[in-house]
Structure 1
């Protein structure tokens, strides 16, 4: 089984949510942005141009990621089949990063360090030693150590010397994860460094805290992961005090912030096991979020439990009536705004509408059994952008054209992996 050490970070991935604020049981007023900002007077096409340029600027900043040395270094280490990589938490983190790089998955490359598969892992101390790769015998030579874990290996298949160095240290928590009655260590602190010819190309540092639930399990309460990948830096923090979940993700290059996601959610009081979770509303009462990418900020909030309770209360209505209720509930209990950070101007807000869609279908005549052609109608919620002039455009229409340059550049970037 997998144990998510950053439960909050993953849970908030599905939420629309804004600034750090306490929520009450009353619905959130959705008509104003979280802070008083004027609306941008750009036209719809000018907004598209601004958004596309923001995306192009972001790609320009991150387009060197596939060329960073750490990817090939981890892949090379994986090729040499070091047993400790497969059997320790630290090793599995590195393997996850290597797998993402090998499979051209940039998103997974960054999320790899937020989840640890700890079942059936072995303590890092069991593998303490200084490992050197012998190119002649194509085998590892281990020098015993009671305090060190070092791996010296050739950085490429053509390297004649062991010019790459991996060092790792690990402090176990007093908390443990129990699987089928067997206890497995959870980390309190991890540190990993990967360098070639004396230059550090990867550094991973993690701090973790847990609340022990009786004598059988532990719930993550705090986590901080700092990952340096060449010129890139990733910081992930999360907290869970049983009342509030918080998380923050920052991506920077050369210490200049490119992306920043902050999420906060108030808990309902119930706290089921993750594997028993059916809806987010079982855990989250309300949530808020800010998400910055370069010059664009999305900021929003949602009363998750109120929305879910209303959905459940109306599930016996006709489809049309149910959707009408859902639209009213969503617009009353959620808000989402997009902002230009440099000008402190809102370029659009979000609202939900009900859309009808008619399509041909058929029934059978109960008396004759003959097929009868009919027209059916389905109803669904559609988010729409609302601009300064009160014009409204669906997300599908808005993003349907006008972003060809960004799409082309993004494909070029992903193909580099």
Structure 2
């Protein structure tokens, strides 16, 4: 259902501005529903920025509903819960090589074991296997019984990836190990013994480099949603991704050379954008996002940021001069600077505009902004005298040291309209769009890695 209170406020401001104008196309004597319907019938090119916002919200409503509906997918819930459980208790599918997260399930080969969630002890119990890699766990966060199973199989390549196995702090010796990347892997998710989702991916490697020259990934869930990504690294990187519901396109991403994108711009109303873009996003049947992306520079900016902005070092709990409040203050500053730098790089290297697919009118620029996100209270320790330690004590939490708010930041997409006002893109297209856009951006940047 269209958020009428938002539409009403925008419509009211539009009417206030246009009362003295002869160009108003809205009859203020009509009902709200009639006024919205009248605006939606007109092309974007004939509407004021405020009226464009009204039409945009009305036309984007179907997509917002579909993306919000995808959040209630039982398969997605199960995968998210598996990720949460792996955060609570990490598993070692590399047999002693390192801790793993959910992404590793499809990205390794020749590793086996059956891991069953022990809810009472909040850990994974492992059963040895020479043929299967399997996780048995609750499908939702609120459940305690194990009713979901994720089973994975893969085929090895000859591309060896070296990883850190262990590090001895006393003698400064690091032990490394390795595993082989898969050329193909498949996984099946079952909930209550019924197939809920199928995952598959394939990769081709042109050398011993761990970055593939071709890659594809597909997730199909029983709720009707399918998410696919594929990429190819040639002289110019090309990549595609799509989210469909029962075969109908919701979002489709394309990135490549200008010639590649020009070939996709077939609608007469959009031909004015040929020769200007190396990326195209199609949002259902109503909108496209035309993108001019400098992926190589964006990847370099990301690498430079990680080198130039160093995360503060956690204090030594045996140092009586350690300042934990200063550390958390520095961490907050780091989080804010990192987010702001990420936004600056995005806005410099990713030029995106939202366009009406029906009449070719530019509706808004798409920009990124940094906003305060998740925060939590960190307990500040106090110095406790203990002659066992060389410095006569340690920093410990006893509840008397107070707390300090640690602030994280999110980077969110905004629509910047012709009147310079900005509105969060998720207000029109759901937060789900940003999640998929971020996945695709991360995916195509990976191909820029040398």
Task: Pick 1 or 2: higher relative contact order, CA cutoff 8 A, min separation 6.
Answer: 1
Structure with the larger strand share: 1
The TM-score, its normalising length taken from structure 2, stands at 0.46
